[in-house]
């Protein structure tokens, strides 16, 4: 295809390969494996934000019917990996000491798991948990970001390594802002947001033998989790099996292993039965990470005719007292626009809260809110159209890495989106377009995210009926990984998609990392291609050895070997048609198989690789009540080749929805008197619902980036959300003239 | 969950608690303690506990997906947990347990109900339909077909609830236009954000005019 297109329902695109399982309820998620002898675990949380546990009275709980054990630091078995050193056994994705389940009596935050009650039924475990009585020695806690911001520090990794991405950065003249003719100087705040996937975090832990552990776990990487638990329990990795066949959304919270997982494994070991542990919705706010509260400041300078001369961008993000979570909040400021002078400064603020973790679009989405708002503010001050202003400062190579882009088709995104949203209806002067009592505004925001690629391997097996089976340890948290991989395999071999199966979500399958950072298609896709090509090579050799008219296969190019109507042929020639069943019979085999690994190549050192997106929003604001309705969203993506248009478009729509949440409703609030969240369910923490999300138009440039990877894909998950929130904030400014720099933008801020 | 007992009366065991402990620990075992041997065996097999829990259960008749069920459940068990944990009908999902997300939507006598908000024993004699009961053999329900066609989901976790709600939404006459659909589907959260595709799926089924 490789032609740009708007999402429409008439292109040929594979239906989701696991769709039938999902619409019939047959798809099994981590809490849905009914193992024999299964018992239930319910966590007890700390009720103070800082201090120590003086005593735990578990007598009443232990006496309650059906309760098998009450486990806390007092009686938990020693986790071998916890004892070997002061360090957690894993290589944590964040610096510091991840929280160890029931390790000692320290309380680091309010809502920390401090005990677990195991019982024969869920209700009995829940009741048992309500009977556990804990006495604390309280210490003064710090949870208020604003009150403590001056205690922010440079992350340890930046102290050690001045080249770290979170170290201070400076390009050109450090003081250029001071002399800029036109200036913007503004602060932006993004509150804590919580991933809140619909599936509650769950683990079913089963010790199949004294030294053999199987977990059905809601994670984004089966093998990273396997490695973690192998170290934690001092087992050879092959003794740990991690199953995550279906993951009910995660958005980043499955990129870290959390104490509740180890709690369930400890419990299973102690009661000698498989244990199921499912978090409650309020525990989702304190036990599995969140997007950190972040303060930002941007100083932007430009010439009167619209050339950027300076950007200073500062950021402080919240983290826990025990781990240093960092993210790339400032990265796009360094590479997005052609400003000769740029300074960035990143700090973290340690508070008595749980550790954050990357949430969709992670730091880049946070950073884009500030950068793209500031760009809009500057364009307005200069009286230049915001798209024009961005084009005036467009870069044809990466000014940060000083490398050429592998590909960049952002201008195509501007053009397509501008037309679709009806940009010509936008007026520079805020409040000039009305529809009855509603003020109408248009806004846009740009997004970018690294076109990441990791190592992945795929096993492929072809049988005599022409069925292709592939396996990889990767997970699918929702984007439709299986569907995309089946499509890639079909494109590579010509085998009909209904004869191809892609199995995933099992640590025993070939190598894969986490599903995260928009890297799955870019990493696993090439391995699928490689495995398919290796199978074709085997077939080629087998066929050519038959001689006669089939000898021509020996010199055929691998790319040209294709299945056409179930028979193997050399494409574009009237070569012999070989029936696979006959071929296998002649060779006395039932199937052929191969495992192929694919990894990033040296192009990564020669080019700067990013995916880009452009989001447009039309927003109506009620002139009296300040009520905000997002009327239309247009999302345009330069994500390389689009493998599976239907699922890709859906992913973009999901990003737009997430962006609407960021812009207008999501905010987790702590009552600092207790250091405890007061928003801990969907009644208090608002996420977009049907009525909040309008029709979303999705446009793909669909040009391959084969420098990034052989599939030509640059990744989609993050750019789908990065830039949406500022597009909405900018549209609200255009509608009302009110510049809101603290998310979410709620009606009270507009009246 | 947690230790949220009444802080003013830390030593007071609740009535329910003492009753349960009483059942578990004393009378039953004593009552069946005909000989010391039986006591030993009973203790070994957790028999006391089993008897205690039998005493706490009530009989319940329901028809689930067309199958008549004779059950025995504790009164505190929600319909959702009964389906998921005892009947292995895990298609109905738990997304919050507080009636705020719609993932647990099932049909009770043809109407949509949040199964996390109702106790199983409230449904004596009623007909329950879950996502597993929609297809007729291999033949998917039109709403299931439409969800696949319009890609009305990503992770699939909210999907059973969305589909059960979607069918009810049409039956209720609340799918006359897209705005109505959005309004009357707003109790079903999809964090993956597949909303516009869900609306398309419902619109198509509605327009096809089949009786659902
Ligand atoms: S689980 Fe019942 S509404 Fe959320
Ligand atoms: S499909 Fe994932 S929550 Fe709706």
Give per-residue pLDDT as tens, B185-201: 999 999 999 999 999 99
Judge whether A486 and A17 are in contact, CB under 8 Å. Answer: yes
Residue from B84, B100, B160 to probe ligand 1 pocket by mutation (most atoms less than 8 Å from CB): B100
Query: Cβ-count burial of A326 within 10 angstroms (0-12 exposed, 13-18 middle, 19+ buried)?
Result: buried
Establish if A307 belongs to a structural domain: yes
pLDDT at B26: 47
Q: Which two tokens stand for residue A343?
A: 């300074």
Tell which CATH classification among 3.40.50.360, 3.10.20.30, 3.30.565.10, 3.40.50.170 matches the domain B15-133: 3.10.20.30
pLDDT above 90 (res A658):
yes
Whether residue A676 is predicted with pLDDT greater than 50 in this model: the reply is yes
Q: Domain count of chain A? A: 3
In this structure, the answer to whether residues A487 and A434 fall within a common structural domain is no
Nearest to A132 among B3, B159, B196 (CB): B3
Q: In whole angstroms, what is the distance from residue B81 CA to residue A106 CA?
A: 34
Instruction: Clarify whether residues A462 and A593 are in a common domain.
Output: yes
Mean pLDDT of chain B: 84
Class for the domain spanning B142-208:
mainly alpha
Interface contacts (A, B; CB < 8 Å) = 230
User: Does residue A419 sit in the same domain as residue A329?
Assistant: yes
The CATH number covering residue A711 comes to: 3.30.365.10
Which residues share a beta bridge with A591? A463
Q: Looking at residues A478-494, what average pLDDT do you find?
A: 97
SS3 A718: coil
Q: Check whether residue A498 and residue A366 sit in a common domain.
A: no
Q: What is the CATH number of the domain that holds A209?
A: 3.90.1170.50
Please give the residue range of the domain that contains residue A407: 294-452+605-749
What pLDDT is stored for residue A637 in this prediction?
97
pLDDT at A487 over 90: yes
Is A184 among the domain residues?
no
Residue B8, Cβ density class (10 Å: 0-12 exposed, 13-18 middle, ≥19 buried): exposed
Compute CA distances A565 → A13, A268, A484, A559, A569, whole Å: 19, 51, 21, 17, 10
Amino acid A91: pLDDT: 53
Higher-confidence residue of A546 and A629: namely A629
Which contacts of A489-492 are long-range, i.e. CB under 8 A and separated by 24 or more positions? A489/A460, A489/A528, A489/A532, A491/A643, A492/A528, A492/A529, A492/A532, A492/A533, A492/A536
Looking at every residue in chain A, the average pLDDT score rounds to: 96
Tokens of A59: 């007598």
Ligand 2 centroid–CA B155 distance in Å is: 5
The span from the CA of A422 to the CA of A426, in Å, is 8
In the prediction, which pLDDT does B42 show? 43
What is the structure's pLDDT at B135? Answer: 97
Q: Could you tell me which residues are beta bridge partners of residue A316?
A: A295, A347
Tell me if chain B has a CB within 8 Å of the CB of A35.
Answer: no
Distances from the Cα of A319 to the Cα of A145, A290, A294, A643, B12, angstroms: 10, 10, 10, 37, 40
The pLDDT of residue A574: 79
**Which A residues, 166 through 225, put their C-beta within 8 Å of a C-beta on chain B?**
196-200
In B, minimum Cα distance to A196 occurs at B191
User: Do A258 and A354 belong to one domain?
Assistant: no
Retrieve residue A234's tokens: 């001092």
How much is the pLDDT for A8? 72
Tell me what percent of the residues of chain A surpass a pLDDT of 70: 98
Same structural domain, A207 and A300: no
pLDDT of residue B13: 42
Give the pLDDT confidence score for residue B12 in this predicted structure.
42
Which residue's alpha carbon is nearest to atom 3 within ligand 2?
A: B190
Residue in chain B closest to A14 (alpha carbons) equals B149
Q: How confident is the model at residue B16 (pLDDT cuts 50, 70, 90)?
A: very low
Identify the DSSP state of A547. Answer: -
Q: Which of B31, B28, B19 is nearest to A63 (CA)?
A: B19
Task: Tell me: do A435 and A486 sit in the same domain.
Answer: no
What's the average model confidence in pLDDT over A644-660?
A: 97
Q: Give how far B135 is from chain A: nearest CA, Å.
A: 7
> Would you say A457 and A527 are in contact if contact means Cβ atoms under 8 Å apart?
yes
Q: For residue A88, say if its preceding peptide bond is cis, omega within 30 degrees of 0.
A: no
How far is it, in rounded angstroms, from Cα A383 to Cα A377?
A: 10
What distance in Å separates the CA atoms of residue B20 and residue B10, rounded to the nearest whole number? 18
ipTM for the predicted complex comes to: 0.97
Q: Is B196 exposed, middle or buried (0-12, 13-18, 19+ CB in 10 A)?
A: buried
C-alpha A698 to ligand 2 mean position (Å): 19
- Given A266, A285, A304, the domain boundary residue is A285
In-domain check, residue A686: yes
**Looking at chain B, which residues constitute the CATH 1.10.150.120 domain(s)?**
142-208
Nearest to A690 among B17, B88, B182 (CB): B182
**How many residues would you count in chain A?**
751
pLDDT of amino acid B5: 40
Indicate whether A107 and A210 sit together in one domain: yes
Assigned domain for A461 exists: yes
Q: What is the mean pLDDT of residues A230-259?
A: 97
Q: Predicted confidence band at A549 (pLDDT cuts at 50, 70, 90)?
A: confident
Mean pLDDT of B140-159: 98
CB-ligand 2 contact for B147 (6 Å cutoff): no
Residues A100 and A227 in one domain: yes
A316 & A387 share domain: yes
Do A485 and A420 belong to one domain? Answer: no
Last residue of a domain, one of A599, A624, A650: A599
Is A156 inside any structural domain? no
Given a cut of 80, is residue A160 above it in pLDDT? yes
pLDDT at A516 over 60: yes
Q: What is the pTM of this model?
A: 0.94
pLDDT given at position A565: 85
Q: Indicate whether A307 pLDDT > 50.
A: yes
Contacts of A536 (CB under 8 A, 6+ apart): A492, A493, A558, A561
The answer to whether position A186 is within a domain reads no
What are the tens digits of pLDDT across the range A686-721? 999 999 999 999 999 999 999 999 999 999 999 999
Tens of pLDDT along A192-236? 999 999 999 999 999 999 999 999 999 999 999 999 999 999 999
Is A673 contained in some domain?
yes
Beta strand pairing status for A696-700 and A628-638? parallel
Intervals of CATH 3.10.20.30 along chain B: 15-133
Decide: B159 in ligand 2 pocket, CB within 6 A.
yes
Q: Which residues 263-282 of chain A have a CB within 8 Å of chain B?
A: 278, 280-281
How far does B95 lie from chain A, in Å, by closest CA? 5
Q: Report which protein residue has its CA nearest ligand 1's atom 3.
A: B99
Both A514 and A613 in a single domain? Answer: no
The answer to whether position A264 is within a domain reads yes
CA angle B99, B103, B107 (to 5 degrees): 85
């Amino acid at each position: 295809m490789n032609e740009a297109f708007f999402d429409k329902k008439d292109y040929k695109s594979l239906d989701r390969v696991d769709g039938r399982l999902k619409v019939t309820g047959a798809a099994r998620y981590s809490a849905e494996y009914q193992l024999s002898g299964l018992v239930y675990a319910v966590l007890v949380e700390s009720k103070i934000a800082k201090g120590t546990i003086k005593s735990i009275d578990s007598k009443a709980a232990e006496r309650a019917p059906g309760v098998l054990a009450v486990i806390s630091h007092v009686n938990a078995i020693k986790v071998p990996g916890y004892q070997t050193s002061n360090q957690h056994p894993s290589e944590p994705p964040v610096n510091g000491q991840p929280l160890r389940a029931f390790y000692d009596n320290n309380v680091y935050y309010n809502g920390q798991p401090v005990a677990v009650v195991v019982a024969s039924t869920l209700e009995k475990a829940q009741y048992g948990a309500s009977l556990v009585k804990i006495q604390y020695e309280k210490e003064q806690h710090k949870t208020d970001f604003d009150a403590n911001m001056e205690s922010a520090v440079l992350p340890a990794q930046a102290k050690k390594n001045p080249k770290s991405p979170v170290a201070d950065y400076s390009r050109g003249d450090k003081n250029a802002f001071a002399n800029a003719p036109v200036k913007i100087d503004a602060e932006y705040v993004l509150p804590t947001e919580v991933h809140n996937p619909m599936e509650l975090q769950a683990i079913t832990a089963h010790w199949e033998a004294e030294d053999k552990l199987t977990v059905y776990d809601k994670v984004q990487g089966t093998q990273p989790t396997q490695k973690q638990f192998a170290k934690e329990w001092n087992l050879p990795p092959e003794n740990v099996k991690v199953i995550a066949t279906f993951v009910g959304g995660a958005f980043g919270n499955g990129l870290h292993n959390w104490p509740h997982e180890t709690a369930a494994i400890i419990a299973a070991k102690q009661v000698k039965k498989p244990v199921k542990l499912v978090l409650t919705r309020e525990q989702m706010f304190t036990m599995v990470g969140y997007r950190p509260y972040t303060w930002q400041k941007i100083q932007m300078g430009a010439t009167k005719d619209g050339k950027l001369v300076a950007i200073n961008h500062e950021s402080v993000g919240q983290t826990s007292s025990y781990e240093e979570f960092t993210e790339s909040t400032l990265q796009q400021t360094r590479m997005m626009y052609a400003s000769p002078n740029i300074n960035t400064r990143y700090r973290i603020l340690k508070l008595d809260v749980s550790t954050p973790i990357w949430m969709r679009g992670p730091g880049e989405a946070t950073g884009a809110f500030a950068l793209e708002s500031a760009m809009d503010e500057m364009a307005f001050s200069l009286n230049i159209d915001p798209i024009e202003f961005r084009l005036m400062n467009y870069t044809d190579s990466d000014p940060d890495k000083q490398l050429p882009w592998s590909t960049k088709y952002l201008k195509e995104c501007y053009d397509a989106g501008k037309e679709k949203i009806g940009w010509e209806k936008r007026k520079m002067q805020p409040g000039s377009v009305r529809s009855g009592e509603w003020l109408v505004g248009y806004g846009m925001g740009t997004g970018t995210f690294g076109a990441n690629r990791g190592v992945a391997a795929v096993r492929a097996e072809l049988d005599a009926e022409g069925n292709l089976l592939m396996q990889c340890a990767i997970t699918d948290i929702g984007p439709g990984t299986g569907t995309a991989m089946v499509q890639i395999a079909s494109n590579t071999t010509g085998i009909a998609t209904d004869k191809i199966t892609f199995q995933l979500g099992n640590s025993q399958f070939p190598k894969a990392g986490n599903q995260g950072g928009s890297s799955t298609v870019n990493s696993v896709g090439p391995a699928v291609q490689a495995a398919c090509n290796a199978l074709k090579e085997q077939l080629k050799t087998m066929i050519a050895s038959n001689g006669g008219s089939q000898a021509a296969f020996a010199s055929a190019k691998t790319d040209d070997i294709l299945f056409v109507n179930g028979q193997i042929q050399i494409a574009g020639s009237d070569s012999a048609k070989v029936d696979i069943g006959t071929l296998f019979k002649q060779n006395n085999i039932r199937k052929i198989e191969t495992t192929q690994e694919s990894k990033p190549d040296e192009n990564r050192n020669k080019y700067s690789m990013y995916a880009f997106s452009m989001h447009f929003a039309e927003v109506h604001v009620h002139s009296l009540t300040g009520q905000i309705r997002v009327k239309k969203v247009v999302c345009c993506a330069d994500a390389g080749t689009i493998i599976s248009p239907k699922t890709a478009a859906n992913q973009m729509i999901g990003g737009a929805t997430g962006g609407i949440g960021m812009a207008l409703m999501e905010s987790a609030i702590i009552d600092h008197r207790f250091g405890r969240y007061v928003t801990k369910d969907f009644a208090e923490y608002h996420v977009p619902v049907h009525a909040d999300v309008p029709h979303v138009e999705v446009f793909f440039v669909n040009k391959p980036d084969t420098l990034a990877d052989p599939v030509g894909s640059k990744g989609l998950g993050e750019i789908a959300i990065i830039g949406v929130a500022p597009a909405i904030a900018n549209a609200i400014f255009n509608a009302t003239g009110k510049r809101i720099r603290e998310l979410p933008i709620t009606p009270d801020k507009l009246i | 969950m947690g230790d949220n007992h009444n802080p003013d009366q830390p030593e007071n065991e609740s009535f329910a608690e003492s009753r349960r402990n009483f059942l578990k620990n004393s009378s039953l075992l004593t009552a069946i303690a005909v000989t010391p041997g039986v006591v030993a065996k009973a203790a070994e097999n957790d028999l006391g506990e089993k008897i205690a829990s039998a005493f706490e259960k009530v009989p319940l008749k329901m028809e689930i997906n067309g199958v008549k069920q004779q059950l025995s459940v504790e009164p505190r068990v929600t319909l959702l947990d009964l389906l998921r944990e005892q009947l292995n009908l895990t298609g109905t999902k738990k997304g919050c347990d507080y009636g705020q997300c719609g993932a647990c939507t099932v049909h009770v006598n043809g109407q949509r109900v949040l199964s996390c908000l109702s106790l199983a024993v409230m449904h004596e004699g009623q007909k329950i339909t879950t996502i597993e009961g929609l297809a007729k053999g291999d033949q998917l329900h039109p709403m299931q077909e439409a969800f696949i066609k319009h890609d009305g989901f990503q992770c699939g976790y909210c999907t059973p609830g969305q589909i059960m709600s979607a069918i009810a939404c049409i039956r209720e006459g609340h799918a006359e236009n897209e705005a109505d659909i959005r309004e009357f589907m707003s109790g079903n959260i999809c964090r993956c954000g597949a909303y516009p595709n869900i609306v398309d799926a419902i619109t198509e089924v509605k327009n096809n005019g089949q009786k659902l």
